[in-house]
Structure 1
Amino acid sequence: MAEHKTTSKPASSQEFDLQHSVDRAQDFYTKNKNIILFALVAVVAIIGGTIGYKRFFKEPNEKKAQEAIFAAQNYLAVDSFKLALNGDGNTYGFLQVIDKYSGTKAGNLAKYSAGVCYVKLGEYQKGIDQLKAFSSEDLVLQPLANGLIGDAYMELNKADEAVSYYKKAGASNNDLISPIYLLRAGLALEKSNKPQDAIAVYQEIKQKYPQTNEGREMDKYLARLGVVK
Structure 2
Amino acid sequence: MAKEKKSSGDQRLESIQSGLSRTEAFIEKNQKVIFYIVGGIALIILGIWGYNRFILQPKIERAESEMYMAQMYYEMDSLNLALNGDGMHLGFLDIVDEFGGTPSGNIAHYYIGMIYLKQGLFEDAIDELEQFDSDDEIIGPMATGCIGDAYVELGDFQTALEYYLQAADQAVNDFTTPMYLMRAAWIHEDLGEWAEALELYERIKTEHWRSFEAREINKYIERAQYMINS
TM-score (norm. length: structure 2): 0.75
Amino acid at match of 2:194: P
* 1:181 correspondence with 2:189: no
> Within 2, Cα distance between the matches of 1:142 and 1:74?
21
TM-superposed deviation, 1:73: 0.6
Aligned twin of 1:124: 122
Counting matched residue pairs gives: 182
Q: Which has the higher helix share?
A: 2
Q: Secondary structure at the match of 1:225?
A: helix
If asked which structure has higher relative contact order (CA below 8 Å, sep 6+), I would say 1
Aligned twin of 2:197: 198
Aligned twin of 2:112: 114
TM-superposed deviation, 1:48: 8.0
Identical residues among aligned pairs (%): 40
Aligned twin of 2:33: none
TM-score (norm. length: structure 1): 0.75
Aligned twin of 1:102: 100
Contact 2:182 2:200 in 1 (8 A): yes
Gaps of 5+ in 1: 1-46
Amino acid at match of 1:191: D
> Within 2, Cα distance between the matches of 1:107 and 1:201?
36
Q: Which moved more, 1:98-107 or 1:200-209?
A: 200-209
* 1:93 correspondence with 2:91: yes
Aligned twin of 2:28: none
Aligned twin of 1:61: 59
TM-superposed deviation, 1:87: 1.2
Q: Which moved more, 1:204-213 or 1:183-192?
A: 204-213
> Within 1, Cα distance between the matches of 2:46 and 2:201?
51
For residues 124-203 of structure 1, the aligned pairs below 5 Å read 124-171=122-169, 172-203=171-202
> Within 2, Cα distance between the matches of 1:191 and 1:96?
40
Amino acid at match of 1:87: G
Asked which structure has the greater CA Rg, the reply is 2
> Within 1, Cα distance between the matches of 2:145 and 2:161?
9
Q: Which runs of 4+ in 1 moved over 6 A?
A: none
> Within 2, Cα distance between the matches of 1:150 and 1:48?
45
